[in-house]
Amino acid sequence: MGKDQTTENQEEQKVENTAEEQAAAGEAKETKDAKKEDSPLEKLQGELSESKDKYLRLYSEFENYRRRTSKEKIDFMKTATEDLVKDLLPILDDFERAKSSFPEAKDDEKDPVREGFDLIYKKFKNTLEKQGVTEIENPKGKELDTNLHEAITQFPAPSEDLKGKIVDQVEKGYMLGEKVVRFAKVVVGI
């Protein structure tokens, strides 16, 4: 029985070894399959798609940054112009008051002072218009629009149809582009 037991033990050992070899071979096969799934080509393609995605995101962020800074620059230029225009509008008002104080000239008379004054006034006004400054239309007889007008006082209306409407304009209003830089100061009828 000693030999038979030894033979049996050897056979059992062979079966165990075979089972272990088969398990190891299965693991090796799975490892090869896993390596095939993660082959260098597939890894490179995955990295390439990640790089493309990162590039597109970075490009989009840069484009958004560029647009935002351009918009901020334009807004800054408009704001800088707005401050200058606000400072120049009282000078334009003075020009208009001085112009209205000149006596009316006859057709055959030429007053060089008045002509020079008119020339400077027109140049100044044209320069402001080139910068986008426009005068708000005289609102006399219209409804009060708080987006364009500032009511400084109320006055008894000369007629019933002017009640609640603008009776007079005290100071002209101006716009720079689409933005009001100075509201028209008006008197409202009650």
CATH number of the domain where residue 149 is located: 2.30.22.10
pLDDT at 30: 54
Q: Which of 150, 8, 182, 16 is nearest to 83 (CA)?
A: 182
Residue 6 in domain: no
Residue 17 in domain: no
Confidence label for 114 from pLDDT (cuts 50, 70 and 90): confident
Q: Taking a C-beta distance cutoff of 8 angstroms, is the pair 186, 144 a contact? A: yes
* Residue 148 lies in domain: 134-190
Residue 157 in domain: yes
Residue 155 in domain: yes
pLDDT at 24: 60
Q: From residue 4, give the alpha-carbon distance in Å to each of 1, 79, 142.
A: 5, 106, 124
Which helix (H) or strand (E) segment holds residue 171: the answer is: strand 166-171
Query: What average pLDDT does range 169-175 have in this prediction?
Result: 95
Task: State pTM to two decimals.
Answer: 0.61
Q: Which of 84, 69, 164 is nearest to 131 (CA)?
A: 84
Average pLDDT, the chain: 84
pLDDT at 160: 87
On the question of pLDDT at 58 being above 70, the answer is yes
Q: Give the total number of structural domains in the chain.
A: 1
Q: How far apart are CA 9 and CA 17, in angstroms?
A: 12
